[in-house]
Structures are given as structure tokens and as C-alpha cells.
Chain A
Amino acid sequence: MDALSEAFRLIITLDEDLFEILWLSIRVSLSALTIAAVIGLPLGTYLAITRFPGRKFCILLLNVLMGMPPVVVGLMVYLLLSRAGPLGWMGLLYSPTAMIIAQAVLITPIIAALSNQVIESLHQEYSDTFYSMGVTGGRAVAAYLVDARYALTTCILAGFGRAIAEVGAVIIVGGNIDHLTRVMTTAIALETSKGNLTLALSLGAVLLALSLLVNALVIGVREYAQKRQYA
């Protein structure tokens, strides 16, 4: 109970250490999300509206990668960025950039696979009409992205939810270094193992609140779209 009230105090007094960790978590996850969206949305759209040999395999691969364990992603990015790895010369290991890369690798397949499903369903609905109207190529892609805007927003929010709550990959490539690569999830794991439940509980509460916010946004966006028949 003492730990809980102390955790609450840390939050309402805007404790410096707590908010440093919180800010880094949000910065890393938003950066990863931006990269994942920039790659994942066009990739998902391309796979939805084009037909080529191996397309189904690509979609299958995306779906498999969606469920890839974060520690495996962490290990792969670690091997890539470690001094002996192909990108070791960049010296990115144990930096926020390495964590951004790991999270981007983790959530790009999620955003691509979910957006693929959304756009494919829209493509089935629109294709005859677009053919009849002579809408093709980039104009069709832009129209799909605009018309699926609310569904795609929920895909992006799902990606953010996964990124912010992820621990396995960022602890491997970030190293959980105080004031440098310590994010909410890695800090919770460390503080719990040290028996410092106060900070762990404070961070847990903030993480839960963030998760609640993201899910509320997903529901809000979906309901708004359904109400206006834009879903």
C-alpha cells in the first residue's frame, strides 16, 4: 500500500526520473511507428491491389512476422548492429536509435498486414467502380488510403500499442542504460527485480494509462467512422 501511494506521489509531482523514462519511451515508440507506417502502409496497399506471382506468399510471410517474438527481433537487430555485424561500424548498439530500429522491425509487419486486410476489402468493393471511372495507379492508391483513413488509423494505433508495451527487443539492443536507453518496460523489469516496487508501480500505472488511451482512441475512431458510414 505504501508503494502504491508513493507511486501515485511520483506521478502527480511529475518526478524527473519517471518522466525522463516516459518521454524516452514515447519518443522511441513514435519514431518507430513513423518508420513502420511509412513502410507498412504502402507495402500493405501494394500487396492488396496488385497481382504477381508470390503475392500470397508475401502476405503469408507478413502474417507470420506479425507474431514474431520480440526477443527474436531483438536478437536479429543485435546481430546486425553488434560490432562484428554488418552494420556494426555505425556504432548504434545500446542507443535509442537501435531501440527505434528494433521496434520498427517488430511493428512494420503488423501495420502492413493489418492495412493489407483493410485495403484488400476496400479494393474488392471499389474495383469495378474504379475501372468504370478510369481510376488507376497512384490515383487509386491515394483514394484507397483516404477512404480507409479511419481503419488505417486503428492499424497504426495497434502498432503503437505493441511498440510502447514491448520489452524483449529493446532490452537486448538498448541495454536498459540509465538516462540513455531506459524505457518504461525495461525499467519496470529492472526495478521489480531490484525490489523497488514504487518506481515499477508508477511506471506500470502510466503504461496502463497509455494503453487505455490508445484503446479508447481506437474505439473512438471506429465509432466515429461507423456513425458516418466511413468504416
Chain B
Amino acid sequence: MLKSANMPNPLLPICISGLRLIRGDRAVLAGVNLTIDEPGITVLMGPNGAGKSLLLRSLHGLITPDQGRINLGSLTVADSRTEQAMVFQQPVLLRRTVLQNLAFAAPKTAKTDRQRLIQALESVNLLDRADQPARMLSGGEQQRLALVRALLGEPALLILDEATASLDPASVLLIESLVKTQNVQGTKIILVSHDQGQARRLADEIVFISNGQVAEQSPADRFFTEPRTPEAKAYLAGEIVV
């Protein structure tokens, strides 16, 4: 677990080499080679079906690729499992109260500190909902709870798979603010987003995925002003490139 912003992130650099994933007769990840060594926020962009989510799921260990290697610092995906957290597009909350959802996720190594859970709920404006059934929250509130739950373990790497898709603007901004704060505190953030505005607000680096491969990897400001590949140009112009 990450203890301080000054400590080097143990999961960097992230090195992905020759990653292939076959579904049916199609290579949905067709030999992905990617190195992420900057501690900032990396945003994966690309058209639907390009393989962004599959890449993140492979990185998190939810999918075992058919070929290729992933190393996070000196660790394998399996070894880095407790150092990672992932927030999904559809938050899955337990059939319990908001506070019980957090208590379930709190690391069992430390004595579960109710005060810490209260502070966590406060940080996402959910303190007044602490004793309500979690699944009765709105979509934005559920995602905020899922995010703060993921952060309880102080992960060195936080992966967000379109976590703010179809949320209200206030929830999006709150989640973005939490993500940025977490990054400043030393957590590496990798997220998938189709929202160019969000990518501009958050990203230090853009990885553009197309047809199961990395088409482009650039600093965010350069990607938006001078995309190098025709696919990225077409994507930013709103044209379909699949």
C-alpha cells in the first residue's frame, strides 16, 4: 500500500509487452506494447471496441491474456493485486447500508476505525446517507461510494473504467477532484474515458487505443493539439474510426 506521496510508486513503471487476447477468431488485443512510467494521470482513449477496457481488466488481473507479459514495477499482476484497486462503470454495492459497504472493504490488518469511515463518507458528501441501504443511492452517489471504497486500501494504482459515464456533472466533478487529490498523494491513476473534456481536465498523458493496439502515446497537451496518427485525428474530430 502507498504510504506517502514522497515514496516512489512501487508499481511503476508499468510494462506491457506483446499482449494478445483472442475472443472467437478475433484478436481483441493484438499485441499491445506499452510502458507507463510517469506518476501522473494516464487516460486511455479510443473508439468503442478498441480494447481499452480489456487492457485495463488484464492489467488488474480480471482477464488472463493469451500471450504477452505485464509487469508493474518488479511485480507481476498477481503479486500486485493488493496494491491495486479498480472502479467499474457500473458500481456493484453490497446489499447493506452505505457505512457497512465501507466497513466491509476496510483493510482487516488495521482495526476498523469508524472515524476513518466517517471521514471517507464525508469526503464524498455521503455522510448523511451512512445508514441508508447503499443500493438506494442515486447513480452518482453509488459511484462516489464505490470510489471511496476502492481508496480505503490506499492503493498504489487506481484504475477507473469509464467510472463517470452517464453521471450528473456535480458527481463527475466531485469524482475528478478526488481522483486528482489521490494522484497528488502518490496513487498512479489510469482511467478510460470517452469524454474529451474530462481527459483535458485530468490527463497528464493520453494513450490512444485503436483496433486492439496502442496507436499513440503522448503528453495530453500535445495529443489534443497535434495528434500524430490519422486514427487519433479522426477520433478527436468525432469521426468513427472502427
Contact = CB atoms under 8 A, between A and B. Distances in A.
A binds B: yes
B82 interface: yes
Contacts of A126: 92, 94
A131 B133 contact: no
B224 interface: no
Looking at chain B's contact residues, is the secondary structure mostly helix, strand, loop, or mixed? mixed
Contacts of A125: 92
Contacts of A231: 95
| Secondary structure type dominating chain A contacts | helix
A147 B81 contact: no
Interface residues on A, range: 10 to 19
A12 interface: no
Nearest to B137: A229
Interface residues of B, number: 22
A134 B149 CA distance: 13
A132 B135 contact: no
Contacts, number: 44
Nearest to A230: B95
A131 to B, nearest CB: 6
A179 interface: no
B136 A229 contact: yes
A228 B88 contact: no
A135 B105 CA distance: 9
A143 interface: yes
A148 B94 CA distance: 10
A126 B90 CA distance: 11
B95 A134 contact: no
Contacts of B88: 128-129
Nearest to B88: A128
Given A228-B136, A230-B133, A131 B61 contact: yes
A220 to B, nearest CB: 17
A143 B153 CA distance: 19
Q: Which 6 A-B pairs have the closest CB atoms?
A: A229-B135, A129-B92, A230-B95, A147-B95, A228-B133, A132-B86
